[in-house]
Amino acid sequence: MRHIVTLTLSPTVDVSTCVDKIIPDHKLGCDHPKFEPGGGGINVSRGLKRLNVNSVAIFPSGGYTGQHLQDLLKLERINQLPVLTDNLTRECFIIMNREVREEYRFGMPAVELHQKEEREILSVIRNLSPKPKLIVVSGGMPPGIGDDFLAKVARIAKQDEARLIVDTSGEALRHAVEEGVFLLKPNQAELSKLTGINVTDHASVERATRQIIDAGKCQIVVVSMGAEGAYVATQNFAEMVEAPPIEKRSTVGAGDSMVAGMVYALEKGMDLRQMVRMGIACGSAATMNAGPELFKKEDAERLYQWLAGRMR
């Protein structure tokens, strides 16, 4: 049976805690830290698991922090294929200031990947058995990775007749789109860089997505637009879908949760309109939780029903 694969090139162990207040030059007492696996594709796998869909997470893993990441994924029963690396897997930190309910996010630099490690990751994808039916590449590109890396992944996906979903930025994204992808999920800034169109409103979003679709290199473009919702476009269809009204606590993992929701919808055979609404529901549900915690299944299902009820 063909499976879903996620690829994360800049994984992290997310460490979160709370303090009563933040005061310069003082030793601040923190709550017990919470450790969670993180990084784009890894979060997609975690989100899918919450929706009772299994996947295989591929990611570079180095040193004791890489081992910690693997252990955390085992606790969540995430299938994984780590590629061992020379450099330590990074940690990122999230601090919640209870006094003013402000969240501070400290992202450590992405860890450099060596050429031999890049080749090993491609080899793991190429030699998957059974072949994947869907490959999700999500998260930033680390130093050392070739600009054409995602183009190589796209070629493997074509050979394996797998659908490729990409949620990243920069030159790697451009190369992937030139090779061809099934679904692209940029935000407005990423869409601007990709197309050269200053994306500031619905009209410019429409022009930019149409440019990509008309080039014949992508079947579906879903533009995440934060609190406004998302814009979805194909060759024959386009729609702006509003986000549900919720109280936002944290945006950490919201984009990855959105991708997880859309992949879930594809797995369950939902149509395009249902797919984007399930994505928005999971992304919005993630913002209801503090820190790096992803969405709760019951929140996502409730928000999806609200969104589905407003379809015309």
CA–CA distances in Å: residue 267 to residues 51, 177, 251, 287, 299: 11, 23, 25, 24, 20
C-alpha 31: how far from chain center: 28
Known catalytic residue at 201: no
Helix residue ranges, H only, the chain: 40-50, 63-75, 115-126, 149-159, 170-179, 188-195, 202-214, 254-267, 272-287, 297-309
3 state DSSP class of 120? helix
- Residue 167 tokens, joined: 């949620």
**Catalytic-labelled residue, pool 148, 256, 271, 299:** 256
Q: What angle do CA 58, 61, 64 make, to 5 degrees?
A: 145
Separation CA 181–CA 136 (nearest Å)? 10
102 exposure class (CB count in 10 Å sphere: 0-12, 13-18, 19+):
exposed
Cα–Cα nearest to 222, from 257, 271, 262: 262
Instruction: Give the catalytic positions in this structure.
Output: 256
